[in-house]
């Protein structure tokens, strides 16, 4: 099958029978729901750009497993060039949507599961790698969007999975059959699950032998019996119901999160990628986390480009663009944003092949990348809010602006530079509000903190990968210390 168009993708999701709940009600047609549709549009952009000749090199790659050109989001990295193009692709999509385009998690899961299953098979003689390659080529051939599910709800963080009062607080195998397994549990913060054809489930942390039932990885279609989603609430989400694209800020694109519940879901044997081999749970987690922390050096930078541009436009419209402190703040925002990009490119350029043949990033630099992402976007947002001014959060609604009596008053008193319409000034303010505080903040500001692991998770990996003993030996040698 050829690469899908954006419209074909929309229709393929429409044909699925996913169980979706929001605001206490079942959503009968998620594709057409005004709150959910912007998130679908963001994923659509990954299909639309892949159809454009000018973006073919970034958005697609030739699969060595099928010989066909596939969307890069289903590709297995074959070189450092692939890793670098991944980051550049993510920056492009961030620029085009100013939102989360949701396919990164599945791409990162693809590459983590690919190498982990290879090594598991080598030790245990299992067929997980063959299972995964079959699934992978199926997704490539059909140009599918795949969600990656790692984060369990975790319950009491001081207790291991098997020690929880409720055993379902980490997703687990509850039954093993000759033809497959039955799983129960839930995965949290599932970005893009709603807009995916398939879901890859992975363990959420390293595990010991007593957690065998929790060391499980598999893939199933999103509309499999027993799977349902509860959509997470976002700031300003119901503005999308008010028929005001101005008040939404970014009316076309967005993202949503879901609590995805697995209520005794059956997984056939040929869709299982890990089943009780606890020592490989941590390997899969570490590799996925590394790939996903690399991703943030691309997607967050692209969204940052839009926010910096919006802040500069606001300065123009406010009549403050020539002020030296405004120029300095825009320079600082650019410096921080490009530093994130440097990290994403660096960990890619320093990548190396795994035993299975696919390429993995430099894990230390990937974790440094994500550690910076937990800080720099917050400062970029702070500076954008500073430049925009208080109008960003105190402007009247579009309904007031369109009102016959109130509209002229708002137009008179909220105009900035006289050559710029009040409407345009309000529109740029709402875009900044959306990215800093509203629904897009889920995919930029707040997700920068906890997406791909909390700051402490990266610090643990930095300590593990930092090779402090080697650095100590360097110092001792130069100081002529003999022990």
Pull the structure tokens for residue 157: 């963080």
Distance (Å, whole) CA 213 – CA 120: 16
Q: What are the angstrom distances between the C-alpha of 13 and each of 134, 145, 196, 225, 358?
A: 22, 10, 7, 16, 30
What is the phi-psi region of residue 154: left when phi exceeds 0, alpha when psi lies from -120 to 50, beta otherwise?
Answer: left
Query: Which two three-digit tokens encode residue 362?
Result: 């430099």
Measured in whole angstroms, how far is the alpha carbon of residue 152 from the centre of its chain?
Answer: 16
Q: Are 364 and 350 in contact (CB under 8 A)?
A: no
Q: Cα(351)–Cα(339) distance, rounded to whole angstroms? A: 19
What is the longest distance spanned by two Cα atoms in the chain? Answer: 85
CA 2, distance to chain mean position in Å, is: 25
Q: What is the C-alpha separation between 403 and 106, in angstroms, rounded?
A: 46
Position of tokens 């970005």? 191
- Give every CB contact of residue 113 below 8 A, 6+ residues apart in sequence: 132, 200, 202, 217, 273, 284, 288
Side-chain-side CA neighbours of residue 381 (13 Å): 24
- In this structure, how many other beta carbons lie within 10 angstroms of the beta carbon of residue 413? 8
Nearest-5° angle of CA 420, CA 423, CA 429? 95
Q: What is the 3 state secondary structure string of 464-482?
A: HHCCHHHHHHHHHHHCCCC
DSSP 102-144: --HHHHHHHHHHHHHHHHHHHHH---HHHHHHHHHHHHHHHT-
Nearest to 390 by CA among 333, 446, 339, 432: 432
User: Cα separations (Å) of 243 from 32, 34, 428, 475?
Assistant: 14, 9, 18, 64
Residues recognised as catalytic? 100, 104, 191, 257, 292, 296, 299, 447
CA dihedral 363, 368, 372, 373 (to 10 degrees): 10
């Amino acid at each position: 099958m050829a690469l899908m168009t954006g419209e074909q993708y929309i229709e393929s999701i429409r044909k699925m029978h996913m169980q979706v709940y929001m605001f206490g009600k079942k959503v009968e047609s998620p594709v057409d729901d005004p709150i959910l549709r912007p998130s679908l549009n963001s994923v659509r952009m990954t299909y639309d750009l892949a159809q454009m000749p000018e973006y073919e090199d970034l958005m697609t790659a030739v699969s060595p497993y099928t010989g066909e050109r596939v969307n890069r989001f289903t590709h297995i990295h074959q070189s450092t060039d692939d890793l670098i193009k991944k980051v550049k692709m993510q920056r492009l999509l961030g620029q085009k949507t100013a939102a989360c385009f949701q396919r990164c998690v599945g791409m990162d899961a693809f590459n983590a599961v690919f190498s982990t299953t290879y090594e598991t098979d080598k030790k245990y003689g299992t067929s997980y790698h063959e299972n995964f390659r079959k699934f992978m080529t199926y997704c490539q051939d059909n140009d599918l969007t795949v969600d990656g599910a790692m984060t369990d709800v975790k319950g009491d963080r001081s207790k291991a999975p098997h020690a929880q009062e409720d055993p379902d607080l980490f997703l687990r195998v509850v039954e093993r059959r000759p033809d497959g397994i039955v799983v129960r549990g839930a995965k949290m913060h599932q970005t893009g699950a709603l807009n995916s054809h398939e879901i890859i489930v992975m363990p959420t942390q390293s595990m010991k032998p007593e957690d065998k039932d929790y060391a499980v990885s598999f893939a199933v279609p999103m509309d499999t019996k027993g799977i349902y989603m509860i959509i997470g609430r976002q700031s300003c989400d119901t503005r999308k119901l008010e028929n005001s694209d101005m008040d939404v800020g970014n009316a076309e694109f967005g993202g949503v999160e879901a609590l995805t519940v697995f209520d005794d879901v059956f997984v056939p044997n040929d869709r299982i990628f890990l089943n009780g081999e606890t020592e490989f749970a941590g390997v899969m987690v570490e590799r996925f986390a590394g790939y996903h922390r690399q991703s943030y050096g691309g997607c967050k930078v692209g969204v940052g480009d839009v926010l910096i541009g919006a802040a500069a436009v606001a300065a123009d419209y406010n009549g403050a663009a020539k002020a030296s402190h405004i120029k300095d703040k825009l320079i600082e925002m650019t410096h921080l944003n490009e530093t994130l990009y440097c990290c994403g490119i660096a960990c890619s350029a320093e990548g190396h092949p795994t035993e299975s043949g696919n390429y993995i990033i430099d894990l230390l630099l990937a974790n440094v990348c994500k550690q910076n992402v937990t800080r720099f976007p917050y400062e970029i947002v702070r500076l954008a809010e500073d430049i925009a001014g208080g109008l960003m959060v105190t402007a009247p609604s579009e309904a007031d602006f369109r009102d016959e009596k109130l509209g002229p008053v708002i137009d008179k008193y909220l105009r900035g530079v006289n050559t710029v319409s009040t409407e345009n000034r309000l529109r740029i303010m709402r875009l900044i509000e959306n990215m800093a505080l509203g629904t897009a903040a889920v995919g930029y500001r707040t997700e920068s903190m906890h997406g791909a692991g909390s700051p402490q998770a990266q610090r643990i990996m930095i300590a593990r990968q930092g090779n402090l003993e080697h650095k100590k030996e360097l110092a001792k040698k130069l100081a002529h210390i003999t022990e």
